[in-house]
């Protein structure tokens, strides 16, 4: 089998993990790694990634690649994706795919028209316990689905305390916090509850910019009358939790001494269903999904279309808070 020619653009914390996963596969030739920060290329070399280093992504694209993994700062995802697609490259992109819905739409359309495979790292979709929970929902284990919800605290702390996540400190590069870090939580509501029909949200911040959101509460409605709720906070006063509620039972992903599991609650009675650990996890699993999408036409865990859908949900949450109105998608 002819080896796929891959390039990694952006080799910070996420990108270097991609590079290791790609370099480990015998069916991929890692043609090069690229980053505007030379010290990151040096770190790749120290970690045994021997592919040539580039500081300008057009130079790497000119090497004749089959596919790229884009893990750069968020504000250049759109630019690099569009350039890669013009070269006929399949695209793996870190979330969020862009800083605006308009850019996300342009990226998605370009990939669709070019017929390239895409993967977007909406990581909650990849986790085996969330895949299992969705499978159980679709199988009717919980009865008719009534509600889905997620709470997601961050440990960064509030701006008024002199703290702040990098997205709240530099939204021009990373986008808002709910976009940069929270888009996969927002899209999880769609993943589990079906297409989002409307959003109503309130947000609060302690920063000077009233739309640099730190505390976010949202209610969503989904196809089939399913209700959704989201709580996203920059303070760790709650455990992270996702859940589904049906007419027969409720359920949520958990971890016990035996590994990941799904808890099924019927009144006060609880049942724990073990989740089988897949052969590949994390970045190795994500890269494998990408390769299968390229070679076999496999529908991966998340595509550019899913990235766009998540971006639209985030945009609706922010617009709803600004306009104090229900936003219809």
Q: For the chain, which residues make up each domain, given as ranges?
A: 4-122, 124-278+302-328
d(Cα 156, Cα 296) in Å, to the nearest integer?
Answer: 41
Name which of 78-92, 119-133, 171-185, 229-243 the model is least confident about: 229-243
Per the prediction, the chain carries an average pLDDT of: 95
CATH topology of domain 4-122: Rossmann fold (3.40.50)
b or e along 78-107 (b: 16 or more beta carbons within 10 Å of the residue's beta carbon)? bebbebbbebebbbbbbbbbbbeeebbebb
The percent of residues in the chain predicted with pLDDT above 90, rounded, is 90
pTM strictly above 0.85: yes
The CATH topology of domain 124-278+302-328 is Dihydrodipicolinate Reductase; domain 2 (3.30.360)
- Residues of the chain with pLDDT > 70: what percent? 100
The residue among 14, 308, 93, 79 whose CA lies nearest residue 179 is 308
47 contact partners, CB below 8 Å, separation of at least 6: 16, 20
CB 193 within 8 A of CB 262: no
83 CB-near residues (< 8 Å, 6+ apart): 57, 58, 61
Res 19: pLDDT: 93
Per-residue pLDDT tens digits for 160-192 = 999 999 999 999 999 999 999 999 999 999 999
- Residue 295, pLDDT score: 97
Per residue in 145-161, pLDDT tens?
A: 999 999 999 888 999 99
- Reduced to 3 states (helix: H, G, I; strand: E, B; else coil), residue 322 is helix
């Amino acid at each position: 089998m002819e080896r796929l020619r891959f390039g990694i653009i952006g080799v910070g914390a996420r990108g270097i993990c991609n590079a290791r996963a790609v370099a480990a596969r015998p069916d991929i030739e890692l043609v090069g790694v690229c980053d505007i920060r030379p010290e990151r290329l040096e770190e790749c070399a120290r970690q045994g990634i021997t592919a040539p280093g580039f500081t300008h992504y057009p130079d790497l694209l000119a090497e004749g690649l089959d596919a790229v993994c884009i893990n750069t700062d968020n504000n250049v995802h759109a630019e690099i994706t569009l350039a890669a697609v013009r070269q006929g490259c399949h695209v793996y992109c870190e979330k969020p795919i862009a800083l605006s819905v308009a850019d996300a739409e342009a990226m998605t359309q370009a990939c669709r028209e070019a017929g390239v495979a895409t993967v977007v790292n909406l990581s909650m979709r990849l986790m085996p316990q969330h895949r299992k929970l969705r499978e159980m929902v679709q199988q009717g284990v919980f009865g008719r689905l009534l509600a889905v919800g997620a709470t997601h605290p961050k440990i960064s702390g509030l701006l008024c305390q002199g703290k702040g996540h990098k997205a709240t400190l530099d939204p021009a590069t990373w986008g808002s916090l709910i976009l940069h870090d929270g888009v996969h939580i927002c899209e999880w509501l769609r993943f589990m509850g079906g297409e989002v029909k409307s959003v109503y949200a309130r947000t609060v911040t302690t920063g000077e910019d009233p739309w640099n959101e730190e505390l976010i509460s949202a209610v969503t409605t989904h196809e089939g009358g399913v209700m959704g709720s989201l709580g996203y906070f920059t303070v760790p006063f709650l455990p992270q939790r996702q859940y589904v509620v049906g007419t027969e039972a409720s359920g949520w992903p958990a971890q016990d001494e035996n590994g990941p599991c799904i808890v099924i609650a019927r009144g006060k009675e609880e049942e724990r269903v073990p989740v089988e650990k897949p052969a590949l996890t994390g970045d190795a699993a994500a890269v494998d999904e990408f390769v299968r999408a390229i070679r076999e036409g496999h529908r991966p865990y998340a595509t550019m279309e899913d990235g766009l859908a998540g971006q639209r949900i985030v945009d609706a949450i922010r617009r709803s808070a600004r306009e104090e109105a229900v936003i219809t998608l």
